[in-house]
Chains A and B, each alone.
Chain A
Amino acid sequence: DTGVSQDPRHKITKRGQNVTFRCDPISEHNRLYWYRQTLGQGPEFLTYFQNEAQLEKSRLLSDRFSAERPKGSFSTLEIQRTEQGDSAMYLCASSPGLAGGRQYFGPGTRLTVT
């Protein structure tokens, strides 16, 4: 059983640099989600894809953030001009078509901006 995978697992970058994360969902899942989690907090929703269509973006997702899901398979999350406040765990999840059901989470990418 192949779960959700994320790459890289850890990323350290200097302020002002661009970073890109990748998420590979469970293959038959058409829904993909990105969340951000800071220390001591629960995950916060960033954005959601159904197949290749990005259907909602949180106001947390500033214009420095962009997400894509070409061909409805893997997804990338890019952060441009990183700031120290971007330091967090970025979690990807996927789910089959049932709205509001269980989501399957990847291990996360921990970003540290120095």
Chain B
Amino acid sequence: SQQGEEDPQALSIQEGENATMNCSYKTSINNLQWYRQNSGRGLVHLILIRSNEREKHSGRLRVTLDTSKKSSSLLITASRAADTASYFCATGLSGGSNYKLTFGKGTLLTVNP
């Protein structure tokens, strides 16, 4: 079953604009991760934020985490055509099963040149 839900399901923007994707989840987590998937390929890890962190940056990426609302957001600044991909949030759960990831359905981002 899917733990997270990304919003929106699809997002289309122009190159240079910022893209914001949101993720909501249901249970207590150890960490939340964002992955990117280009069409028909494997997943590439983007960033991991732990449950005791509120914000994290990596290059053009900014991730926030609100554990009280069980939600996270991924901001990609100054988007490029190469950012076109599906983006998934994945949660690492607290407790005994904290080795596996539970993914949302993803947001399909299209960046138009």
A residues apposed to B, CB below 8 Å: 4, 31, 33, 35, 40-45, 48, 50, 55-56, 89, 91, 93, 95, 99-108, 110
Contacts and interface: CB of A to CB of B under 8 A. Distances in A.
B40 interface: yes
Nearest to A46: B100
Given A56-B100, A110-B40, A100 B105 contact: no
Contacts of B40: 89, 108, 110
A43 B106 CA distance: 10
Interface residues of B, number: 28
Contacts of A103: 45, 101
Most buried by B among A35, A44, A91, A100: A100
22 contacts: A31-B99, A33-B99, A41-B106, A42-B2, A42-B4, A42-B90, A43-B101, A44-B103, A45-B100, A99-B30, A99-B99, A100-B30, A100-B92, A100-B99, A101-B48, A102-B48, A104-B45, A105-B35, A105-B42, A105-B44, A105-B45, A108-B40
